[in-house]
Chains A and B, each alone.
Chain A
């Protein structure tokens, strides 16, 4: 507690131009995160989660409301690292060259960036795969390289758009535990978008549940009473998961 506020999203509204017609995507969304917080956003498919992350990242401006990232409002583009929902590794770069892309763009000397990346390759379970091209890696490994690129960006806030969405349930569960361990070590502020309630409860400090489009905040949850690491079979864990699912399916708080 008492950590500085890193992210403040205040009553953000956004309509998108979809082939000439205005589509209300975000009605009124607010959330905030202090330094080192893990906030998860969950909501039905197409409700505007990716749009919300793009607004936080500074790729889009809200029609109404305010966004502050690290105290920046107008010039927040570049303050937070984004891991897009789609597969965004550069196919012509090896794993390690993909991982250091942000450092390279920031003008950090290559030797420094490589030294840091090499250390993380071990932590990300990718030792020995540094010089492989994306097509030579499994889906889970590609996703870990993309996560590493995000962690290596040097930004304090990471915006992760369904980073584990495309993985099979088994890989997914082990990646969740691993992601938690990495976060514990590197202590970043994370905003995670997911479809998976269990993932939200395993990983985050707080959860923001959105309504179907146009999105509003349906309910907010705190998991600070559940000590980490959280066991998926634990009674309190399962009860919380069931409550959230009921709210999501019922559509009311």
Chain B
């Protein structure tokens, strides 16, 4: 079953690569305009040490961004859950903040925070923050009120109700938010590096682009994709573990 689930997308992916390869060869596209996938993979392996050197910084930015964005999003969701007046007051601003292109403030962050790792972490965190906050708040607010009442009759403190009822109930929503944040944080770190950096995969892309090393640009994109996919898959695995109780309907598994 799982093998079949991956088979069709894998075939589709291979077909697209084949088409790309054939088109590039048939039209004799120069390698500095669009390299064939075979060249991209070749560069990926030949330049692997170089790529790996830049991956470390970018990965650190992504993970820190995810950590701060995720923790901040969950923290804000809990705060707004308890302070309903505050929620009503700031919800429009939180939504409006999403209309501000984060890329536009990235140069400012460089001015404020310098060329190091932190402006990228902040961009990454800002992008990941929103889906986590919105999903976690949704999850907290959708907890059944009869369950909350039951906890009240048991004499549960606010903290006990949060830890034993609200957070576990919000966990599926929280994971939805985290999975979105994981993919967005890759974008955030890359953008942050485009604006100004001395290292990282985004920096490597800019440098290679300027030198017409389009194959290296694609190799960096491939690396970023792999990071994004691994993060997503990682959250999926943690989610499956944490939500194994929600196995209803997967009895045969």
Q: Of B98-106, B134-142, B148-156, which binds chain A?
A: B148-156
Within 8 A of A (CB), among B149-182: 149-156, 160, 164-165, 168, 171
B26 at the A/B interface (Cβ < 8 Å)? no
A106 at the A/B interface (Cβ < 8 Å)? yes
Contact A90 to B168, CB < 8 A, known contacts A59-B149, A84-B150, A133-B245 = yes
Contact A92 to B248, CB < 8 A, known contacts A77-B152, A84-B146, A105-B160 = no
For B222, what are the chain A residues with a Cβ–Cβ distance below 8 Å? none
Smallest CB–CB gap between A66 and chain B, Å?
19
Which residue from chain B places its CB closest to the CB of A82 in the assembled complex? B153
B8 at the A/B interface (Cβ < 8 Å)? no
Instruction: Report the interface size class on chain A.
Output: 20 to 34
A92 CA / B156 CA spacing, docked (Å): 18
A12 CA / B155 CA spacing, docked (Å): 24
The secondary-structure label for the interface of chain B is helix
Q: Across the interface, do A105 and B150 meet the contact criterion of CB distance under 8 Å?
A: no
A240 at the A/B interface (Cβ < 8 Å)? no
Q: Across the interface, do B247 and A82 meet the contact criterion of CB distance under 8 Å?
A: no
Within 8 A of A (CB), among B106-161: 144, 146-147, 149-156, 160
Contact A91 to B246, CB < 8 A, known contacts A84-B149, A105-B160 = yes
For B144, what are the chain A residues with a Cβ–Cβ distance below 8 Å? 86, 88
Please list the 10 inter-chain residue pairs (A to B) with the smallest Cβ-Cβ separation, ordered nearest first. A78-B155, A92-B245, A135-B248, A82-B153, A102-B154, A105-B154, A105-B156, A92-B168, A133-B245, A84-B146
29 contacts between A and B (CB under 8 A): A59-B149, A77-B152, A77-B155, A78-B155, A80-B153, A81-B154, A82-B149, A82-B150, A82-B153, A84-B146, A86-B144, A88-B144, A88-B146, A88-B147, A90-B164, A90-B165, A91-B245, A91-B248, A92-B168, A92-B171, A92-B243, A93-B245, A101-B154, A102-B154, A104-B164, A105-B154, A133-B245, A135-B247, A153-B154
